[in-house]
Structure 1
Amino acid sequence: MTTSSELRLLPWTGPDGKPCFLSTDDSRGYMSRLADNIESVQLGTATELLDQAVDMLATDTAPDDMRLLAKNLTRALRDTLRVATSRGHRLHSQSADHPPR
């Protein structure tokens, strides 16, 4: 059985905006792979938005376009922080399972 310290924070939230967690001993199961794929897409989107932001800041960009970029960057940053938190928890859990000798 999975303990609460082994719950995986998923890269999406529930309908009410609360975090979703996965309890499984199978890191290669369907839900784990789905979460890995979504994390990959989220990080790729953040990279693309960062590149777009660099380009837009180097030019004279309309305020409405900058506002849309800021909104998208905010969402991407929130997703990226969720991925980092999830991966940090999993790294901590793995190191607790295999303490240094």
Structure 2
Amino acid sequence: MPSPRPRLLPWPNENGKPCYLVSDDSGAGYISRLADEMETVQLRTGAELLAHARPLLRDRKTHAGELRFVGHRLAEALHDALRVAESRGMRLEDREEPAPGPS
């Protein structure tokens, strides 16, 4: 069985570029568990931010500075959620079994 491809981690490296974990621990190692916890926090934070942003966006009295602030935070949360989705999608692809070929 080939080794799984590197896991995209939910944090960038020191240069701001994607950071990967190469491991054969099947998700049981310390860094894998830490990444799982970080993804959970990122997704929860995004959901909480969205719940906070909706009333601000509906209120015509919300100041432009508040809207810019919440817009930036929503963009950050979307970035985090897309990274989580990409990482999890890559791991799902690794688990899929190849379709049987013609006999």
Structure 2 length as normaliser, TM-score?
A: 0.87
Aligned-pair Cα RMSD in Å: 1.5
The aligned residue for residue 17 of structure 1 is 16
Runs of 4+ in 1 over 2 A off after TM superposition: 98-101
The aligned amino acid for 2:41 is V
Q: Report which of the two has the higher share of helix.
A: 1
Quote the offset at 1:50 in angstroms. 0.9
* Paired residue secondary structure (2:15): coil
Partner of 2:90: 89
Q: Could you say which residue in structure 1 is the equivalent of 2:42? A: 42
Letter in 1 for 2:18: P
Show CA shifts across 1:18-53 (max 9, x none).
Answer: 000001111111000000000000000110111111
Matches of 1:100 and 1:35, distance apart in 2: 30
- Equivalent in the alignment of 2:98: 99
CA–CA distance in structure 2, aligned partners of residues 93 and 33 of structure 1: 18
User: What percentage of residue pairs aligned between the two structures are identical?
Assistant: 46
Please, which runs of 5 or more residues in structure 2 have no aligned partner?
none
Q: State yes or no: 1:61 paired with 2:48.
A: no
Q: Deviations over 1:51-96 (max 9, x none)?
A: 111111121211111111011111111111000000000000111x
Q: Distance in 2 between matches of 1:16 and 1:74?
A: 20
TM-score calculated relative to the size of structure 1? 0.89
